[in-house]
Every structure is written in structure tokens, then in C-alpha cells.
Homo-oligomer: A and B are copies of this chain.
């Protein structure tokens, strides 16, 4: 059994965030030592690591709750995991497309700037009717 500091190091989740996850019921309440400090076993740390990896992949906390539910049932319905992941993938792709449109518009904007000093063409574009 490890302290919250060790759990943090082994999972990559900060101490404050671990406590936040517990408060929000995203992970179950940690066991406590007689002195009141939280204790984590390997399964608890694996859960934190799982959450961090999912967050790194951009999954929302809501999605992660669902994935943790799926992972705790005996039949880990792979189909549901896949469908959730595919929905998220579509979302990520949509965000990329949005950002690429923004990128193109910014390139235009920057090109409009002629560095000539006053009366910036880029500002004119943004202020136009």
C-alpha cells in the first residue's frame, strides 16, 4: 500500500487531481491509514494511470466514467469501448478540421499585413462590415 505521493508518481496524476477525482466520485474513496492518510494498492494506481492515459487521449471525464464502468463489469463489452472510442475519434477529427480552417484564415490574415506601419490591413479585414 502506497501513499498518495507515491500513487501520484506511479500514475502520473498529481496529488491535487487524485483528491479531486475522489471528491467527484470518479475513483472510489481511498482506504485510509490509522493516521488518516490515504492508501493506494496496485489496482487503485492502475485506475489512476488508466484515467491519465484516457485524458491524454482527450476523453472527457464523462467518457472515462463510462469506460471505467465497462472495465469493471465481468463482460468488458469490447463493442461498447470501440463505439465510444470511435465517437471520440470523430470528435477529434472534427476539431482538427476546425483548427485547419482557422489556420488557413490566419495565414490569410498574416499575409494581409504588409508591415507598412499605420492603418493595418488585417485590422481592416476584421473590422469590416
Mark A residues whose CB is within 8 Å of B. 46, 49-50, 53-54, 56-58, 67, 70-71, 74-79, 81-82, 85-86, 88-89, 92-93, 95-96, 99-100, 102-103, 105-107, 109-110, 113-123, 126-127, 129
User: Beyond A81-B123, A110-B89, A123-B81, is A105–B57 a contact (Cβ under 8 Å)?
Assistant: yes
Q: Contact partner of A120 among B81, B105, B107, B114, CB < 8 A?
A: B81
B126 near A54: Cβ-Cβ < 8 Å: yes
Number of copies: 2
User: Within the complex, what minimum Cβ distance (angstroms) separates A80 from chain B?
Assistant: 9
Q: Contact partner of A113 among B50, B75, B82, B95, CB < 8 A?
A: B82
B85 near A110: Cβ-Cβ < 8 Å: yes
Please list the 10 inter-chain residue pairs (A to B) with the smallest Cβ-Cβ separation, ordered nearest first: A78-B120, A82-B113, A89-B106, A76-B120, A75-B118, A71-B123, A96-B99, A81-B120, A53-B126, A50-B126
Docked Cα-Cα span, A107 to B71, in Å, equals 20
User: Within the complex, what minimum Cβ distance (angstroms) separates A23 from chain B?
Assistant: 23
Chain B residue nearest to A119 in the complex (CB): B76
